[in-house]
Amino acid sequence: MNPPAALPSALGSLEGLRVIDLSRVLAGPYCTQILADHGADVLKIEPPVGDETRGWGPPFDAKGTASYFYGLNRNKRARTMDLSDPAERQALLDLLCDADVLVENFKTGTMEKWGLGPAQLQARFPRLVYCRITGFGADGPMGALPGYDAAIQALAGIMSVNGEPDARGGEPLRVGLPVVDMVTGLNAAVGVSFALIERGRSAQGQYLEVALYDAGLSLLHPHAANHLMDGRIPGRSGNAHPNITPYDTFATATEKIFLAVGNDKQFAMLCKLIGAEDLPGDERFKTNGQRSAHREALKERLEAALSCFECKPLADRLVRQGVPCAPIQDVASALADPHTHHRGMVVEIGSYRGVASPIKLGRTPASYRLPPPDRSV
């Protein structure tokens, strides 16, 4: 079987780059969508049963494909291959003859069993950048075990710092987004880019591995930095920041506002604009360190002043005066926000709608050429 025809010229920064995407679910497809948005020709190869996220709904489109799949697979061509079949493995090798990048997230050892492991392929294709996404890496105490976003959030300490404090009856919570999978995908895209830049000097590809476990640990700032300095075990602080005050949700006359005040100048301006000019002169609140030590008293004073203001008009006034803050929007409001549309962050390709690339290159911007592919046989 011949592969689908190559994409027309993308005019992106990765135009001419050919990527074979053997990955499924989230981290790998997110990585390859980043590459595809910026001009790479990505051929997504699915097993006969398809990428399982095609069934991760509702909602589903008219053809029965879930929105979850749609969010991760635009700008890709598609082909179905059963790599347990020797003939199909040979077809993959034929495709790799002119490929630059391979991305896969099979269980450790599977590709080697098929004769398609990193060492085996790079001996045959020395310029190939081979990116493997794993749960825990190939070795070590948890080597080769499968990894999943929520389980890594639990194991890597993320859940332990997310949620309301014990004093408020809180318990550890999973972050409501697949942050581990997504940052793993970002790291994979960055790693592929690094390897391609180095290949420009050496003319040699290389193998890179990105593990969900490592990505989960990398997300622990500033909690890991705090612990490594003073040895204390971080706990849950709700919406509050462990190092900065006021950096939390605060009640107003209407809905809550989120204040993200990062320095003394911003704090003074906040107090001026809400009629609490005396607070910066209070010894308890003069510096961030003092404010953090007296955060409950400060919150009480601020909420007393904020009770005279409606959230959204106040947030607009504060941010325009240099005080970081925001009303708390739901997903629908965020996607419909005028600034979202001004930034071009909702893309449409026919009936497909998705969140656009956040990477804004001036001369070679992202482009949106193909909707997520239908099942291909």
- The alpha-helical segments, DSSP class H, found in the chain are 27-37, 67-70, 86-96, 110-113, 118-124, 149-155, 179-202, 212-218, 223-230, 264-273, 288-293, 295-306, 311-320, 331-336, 338-342
- Catalytic site includes residue 166: no
146, 106 Cβ separation under 8 angstroms? no
User: What does the block give as tokens for 150?
Assistant: 């929520």
260 φ/ψ angles, rounded to the nearest 5 degrees:
-130, 65
**What is the DSSP secondary structure assignment for residue 60, as one 8-state letter?**
B
The region, left, alpha or beta by phi > 0 then psi within -120 to 50, assigned to residue 85 is: beta
161, 234 Cβ separation under 8 angstroms? yes
Please, what is the angle between helix 264-273 and helix 311-320, to 10°?
130
**What is the DSSP secondary structure assignment for residue 356, as one 8-state letter?**
P
Catalytic, out of 21, 37, 149, 181: 181
- Helix (H) and strand (E) counts for the chain? 15, 11
- 131 Cβ neighbours under 8 A, 6+ residues apart: 31, 101, 102, 103, 104, 188, 191, 192, 195, 208, 209, 210
Residue 207 bridge partners (DSSP): 130
CA-closest candidate to residue 76, choices 333, 316, 376, 321? 376
Residue 352 bridge partners (DSSP): 349
- 281 Cβ neighbours under 8 A, 6+ residues apart: none
Which string of DSSP letters, residue by residue, matches 68-114?
HHHTT-TTEEEEE--TTSHHHHHHHHHHHTT-SEEEE-PPTTHHHHT
Which residues are the active-site residues? 181
